[in-house]
């Protein structure tokens, strides 16, 4: 009988259950990488009263930004530690948004969607990121800008983000309709529904 030895023996408290650490940056997308011209880019937030806020690229880039270095965790089992991003906090973007709805559907260029509870993307837990490791975010990693919600599995961090639409219920997005967990907490291994 063959006996599996494995390699990574040191137990790392930063590693959620069932994850392994990678140094590379794998790319997972359901379709082609869209080409997005920042001259035509926009980011919007829609609420129960319709369009609420809208930023052009220049307006968005004029907002106060933060440097953050979270660990990220993909449902396909890789984790990457101390990833260096720069982006705008969702707290900044939601500062003047009035809504009584509790859930958000993130919409991307190319048609991707993913759902999130509003309270999980506020209070310093989510950003719209546009730089990685000091450079403009590469298109295959979601550039010009992506959602970054590092405390959830990385499919929730929608690439090529275009806008957020408030919803009254936690209706499922793209992967959530294909059997992935509606919430996606890596520490509770919420991989599949």
Contact residues for another protein, defined by CB under 8 A: 1-9, 18, 20, 22-35, 76-77, 110-111, 138, 140-141, 174-175, 177-180, 191-193
Query: For residue 78, what are the β-bridge partners?
Result: 20
User: Closest distance between another protein and the C-beta of residue 7, in Å?
Assistant: 5
User: Closest distance between another protein and the C-beta of residue 188, in Å?
Assistant: 13
Residue nearer to another protein on the CB measure, 65 or 156: 156
User: Closest distance between another protein and the C-beta of residue 185, in Å?
Assistant: 15
Residue nearer to another protein on the CB measure, 57 or 180: 180
User: Closest distance between another protein and the C-beta of residue 160, in Å?
Assistant: 12
Pairing of strands 78-80, 20-21: parallel
Residue nearer to another protein on the CB measure, 30 or 95: 30
Please give the span between the terminal C-alpha atoms of the chain, in angstroms, as a whole number: 35
Residue nearer to another protein on the CB measure, 53 or 110: 110
SS3 letters across 133-183: CCEECCHHHCCCCEEECCCCCHHHCCCCEEEEEEECCCCCCHHHHCCECCC
Pairing of strands 146-148, 113-117: unpaired
User: Closest distance between another protein and the C-beta of residue 124, in Å?
Assistant: 28
For 49, the 3-state DSSP assignment is: coil
Residue nearer to another protein on the CB measure, 51 or 187: 187
Residue nearer to another protein on the CB measure, 32 or 64: 32
User: Closest distance between another protein and the C-beta of residue 51, in Å?
Assistant: 25
Q: How many whole angstroms separate alpha carbon 65 and alpha carbon 82? A: 18
Contact in structure between 170 and 117 (CB atoms under 8 Å) = yes
Query: For residue 105, what are the β-bridge partners?
Result: 115, 165
Q: How many whole angstroms separate alpha carbon 34 and alpha carbon 11? A: 39
């Amino acid at each position: 009988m063959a006996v599996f030895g494995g390699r990574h023996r040191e137990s790392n408290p930063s590693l959620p259950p069932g994850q392994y650490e990678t140094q590379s940056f794998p790319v997972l997308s359901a379709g082609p990488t869209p080409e997005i011209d920042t001259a035509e880019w926009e980011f919007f937030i829609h609420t129960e009263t319709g369009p609420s806020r809208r930023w052009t690229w220049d307006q968005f880039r004029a907002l106060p930004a933060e440097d953050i270095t979270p660990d990220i965790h993909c449902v396909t089992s890789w984790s990457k530690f101390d990833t260096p991003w720069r982006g705008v906090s969702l707290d900044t973007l939601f500062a003047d948004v009035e809504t009584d709805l509790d859930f958000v559907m993130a919409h991307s260029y190319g048609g991707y969607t993913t759902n999130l509870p509003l309270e999980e993307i506020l209070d310093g837990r989510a950003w719209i990121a546009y730089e990685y490791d000091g450079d403009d975010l590469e298109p295959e990693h979601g550039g010009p800008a992506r959602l970054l919600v590092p405390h959830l599995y990385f499919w929730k961090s929608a690439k090529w983000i275009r806008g957020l639409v408030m919803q009254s219920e936690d209706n499922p997005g793209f992967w959530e309709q294909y059997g992935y967990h509606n919430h996606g907490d890596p520490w509770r291994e919420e991989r599949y529904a």
